[in-house]
Amino acid sequence: MKKSFFLRVLSMIASFFSNHLNLFADACERQFTLGIIQRSGAITSPGYAADERDEADGRIVRTALNTIAQNDPIVNMQGEINMLPNVPAMTQVIVSNAGGGAVAKTVYFLNEDIFNATPGNNGSGEASISNTYGDGWSGNGYNQLAKALSAQNGIKCYGLTLSFVTTSTGNENSSGLATAQPTWLMASMVGSSQIPKGFVLNAGKRNTQYLSGTMTISGVFFMNSLCQLSYVVPAGNTVTLTVLTSPLS
């Protein structure tokens, strides 16, 4: 027992001196490296002028510093990084097929995961209406952007364009546009109802000479996590909605 006790004591003493010797060696190495850096001019200060005769030492020190920098786990990023994407426009394309029993249907833009959802059936069968968002995430990317910006009123929009085309011919469809009834909807928080605010079709800009089925509404409005856009799509039509989130130049 006594022998074991003395061995433990000797081991602790040896460990103590070993640790302190390592610290002393590290301190000496740092002092030596600092001395070389100072002599080579790698550090410029009033007390240490660059010495051209020690160019070889300077190269060694610069190599050592580069090696340290390359292995340094700390990355210093200058300035702030904005993680919100720059989205010039939000888009949605609705294709409503023609077929037996197909009728016009009201479709929705934004926040479909919480509020109204665009139907997938226009009366002619399942998947007779397709709904494609431009964010690549079935609209969920736009939804998250609206949530992120809702503390500041939401996504600032500068206008929207609706374009109606007869799918089978590719021709502009003015009659589809005439019955579109685009409406801005805000959740009322009372009985799952929404407060409508209609856009006046006559206020939209239309060049009927070229694009009879296209209308642009210019003006600033906000899309947040509590609102949607709705519009009516006839059967046999392809409709493109573009919501501008940057000012028109």
Residues 34-60, mean pLDDT to the nearest whole number: 51
Tens digits of residue pLDDT in 138-152 = 999 999 999 999 887
Contacts for 49 with CB less than 8 Å, ≥ 6 apart: 41
The residue-averaged pLDDT of 22-26 equals 52
Reported as a pLDDT band with limits 50, 70 and 90, residue 12 is low
Write out pLDDT tens, residues 190-246. Answer: 877 788 877 666 666 666 666 789 988 888 889 999 999 999 999 999 999 999 998
Extract the tokens encoding 29.
């190495």
Mean pLDDT of the chain: 79
In angstroms, the CA 103 to CA 227 distance is 26
Q: What was the pLDDT predicted at 248?
A: 73
Tens of pLDDT, residues 73-98: 666 666 777 777 778 899 999 999 99
pLDDT at 29 over 50: yes
The more confidently predicted of residues 137 and 24 is 137
Read off the pTM. Answer: 0.67
> Which is more confident, 2 or 43?
2
